[in-house]
Amino acid sequence: MAHCDPNVLALAALGEPIADAAERSHLAGCVECSDELESLATTVRVARTGQADLVLPPDTVWQGVQATLASEPAPLPIPLPLNRKRSRWLAAVSVAAGLLVIAGSVAIGRTLAQGPTPTTVAVATLTTLPGAPNNASGSASLQQRGSSRTIEVDTVGLADPQGFYEVWLMSPDDSGLVSLGTMSGGQTRASFPVPDGLPLAIYSNVDISDEPIDGNPAHSAVSLLRGQFTV
């Protein structure tokens, strides 16, 4: 068969598998294509890491180049088309460079779309209340990302609920109560968005209750874990 397609070699240098069996077979036995792949892989590695093994030539090489340039007329432009091997190599390098640019753009786009890195603003240690398993425990953290806030909840050792767990924010004196969401039996970790404008200076307690499936949205009064946010 003909030599491997330059695009295939460029993708292989970037780590993509060669799907076509004939291409793989040819590459295994073709010195020319193997050399091109190795050169492309080196180019990709240098582009990704910025590290290259460069060897400085001896001074005599540069002196010889200067002497040759001084004594020879200016070389004529290389006629097109270039020889087959060089044109294939340049095409493959162009493809590899383009793919690296695209991959970098995608990574930058994802980073920008995700926004700023979340910051832990406050944490709460959740301790057991009467009726909860003695070995149960938990924690909650308030995460700030830009203007949005989320609460990350982790629990350990809770028994199966009557129906489901429900996570609440409440004031220390129980005068205010806001439901954040639910967790199923066996679930130990969950993330909940904090309603915009909710004053956490007032709703500073995190409460996890055991709720029956009865259609009643009110708190069941069966709290298992509770703790207060501290900065």
Indicate whether 68 belongs to any domain: no
Judge if 47 and 127 occupy the same domain.
no
Structure tokens at 149: 């806030």
Return the closest-CA partner of residue 164 out of 120, 118, 214. Answer: 214
Count the domains in the chain. Answer: 2
pLDDT lower than 70: segments of the chain: 1, 46, 48-58, 61-62, 70-116, 231
Judge if 110 and 141 occupy the same domain.
no
pLDDT value for 93: 53
Judge if 185 and 142 occupy the same domain.
yes
pTM: 0.51
* Domain that includes residue 24, residue range: 6-55+84-114
Dist. CA 155–CA 128, nearest whole Å = 11
pLDDT value for 75: 56
Instruction: Identify whether 81 is preceded by a cis peptide bond (ω within 30 of 0).
Output: yes
pLDDT in tens, 68-98: 776 656 555 555 554 545 555 555 556 556 6
pLDDT value for 198: 93
Judge if 110 and 22 occupy the same domain.
yes
Indicate whether 190 belongs to any domain: yes
Return the closest-CA partner of residue 173 out of 218, 204, 145, 213. Answer: 204
